[in-house]
Amino acid sequence: MGSKGTLALATVFLLVVLVVLGIHPALAESSFLIDVDSLDMNRLKDTDYIGQVLSSNNAGIRIRKYISNSNELAAPVRLTLVQMDTQTLIFDKYYDYKSGTFDSGDIYLPFGGNQTIPFLVTLYVGDWVYALPFIHLPPRLEQNSACTYGVRMRDFNAALTQDWLMGTMLEIDSLRSQGSITIPLCASNNYLVGQATVTVTGDTLRVDLAFLSNANVEVASCQVFCIRDVGSLTTADPRRIGEPAYGVGQSIDISGADTVLLYVPMTLNFDS
């Protein structure tokens, strides 16, 4: 069998595997479907409605609209997409005359980093014009590491980890006189997602977490370590660290300690 035949068989096999797994190649990174007929046209200026129905962090969008059940009633269709904050025309296509249900197919949007970007989707069907707002939200990051800001664990000992995770040194007497301090929470070595409040009362320490509301944080895992002897650590892996693990909001005995390293490794899902 020639190389073309081998390639064709391999392609067919891959498609079969994808279908069996429920992954459709054209929609491997699914687009957000805007079904024009299902929209409440009287609420297209309602911020809450737009947030619920016309906002998504999907990589692209698809526009669908019923036109007619007869070729004799086919209508010319045109679709445009404008990025409103820069007034940039992103997409403009004439689809000729269409009947039945029009489906634009996937239209992938420009990557916006961690920005929220407003678009205006305009669908022309014959003499009818449907102008629809759409908000492209930042992507949601899944199973990402987070911790308090401070010193990188690998700076204490390069053998502890190759990761970026940090710990925060606490001076107990100073903190005891202040009562509490707040420490920013860093996720993915890039994003500020909230803050930790550290409170010392007598010989107990407690850590409470608060996350930014617009980050929509989900905590997959979180442990609190108060490490008195950093030099004794052999790893920063919370599963093997060999130090007592505490929970958020739990009272931790710090009697006799002058300083401790606060280490709060977390795994989060959040909107970037």
Q: Where are the domains of the chain?
A: 25-136, 140-271
Question: Beta strands 55-56 and 100-103: pairing type?
Answer: unpaired
Q: Would you say 230 and 151 are in contact if contact means Cβ atoms under 8 Å apart?
A: no
**Side chain identity, residue 18:** L
- Are 146 and 269 spatial neighbours (Cβ–Cβ below 8 Å)? no
Is residue 266 a contact partner of residue 225, using CB atoms and an 8 Å limit?
no
Q: Are 56 and 77 in contact (CB under 8 A)?
A: no
**Chain-centre distance of CA 174, in angstroms?**
37
Residue 2 pLDDT greater than 70, yes or no: no
The reply to whether the predicted model has a pTM over 0.85 is no
pLDDT tens digits for 113-170?
778 999 999 999 999 999 999 999 988 889 999 999 999 999 999 999 999 999 999 9
Per-residue pLDDT at 4 exceeds 60:
no
Note the pLDDT of residue 13: 42
Q: What is the length of the chain?
A: 272
Confidence (pLDDT) at 113 = 74
**For residue 176, is pLDDT > 70?**
yes
Single-letter code of the amino acid located at 246:
Y
The CATH label, of 1.10.10, 2.60.40, 3.10.20, 1.10.1200, for the domain at 25-136 is: 2.60.40
The two tokens of residue 255 are 């009697």
CA dihedral 171, 159, 221, 228 (to 10 degrees): -30
C-alpha separations of 87 from 82, 90, 118, 133 in Å: 6, 9, 10, 13
- Tens of pLDDT along 232-251? 999 999 999 999 999 999 99
Give residue-wise pLDDT tens across range 196-215.
999 999 999 999 999 999 88
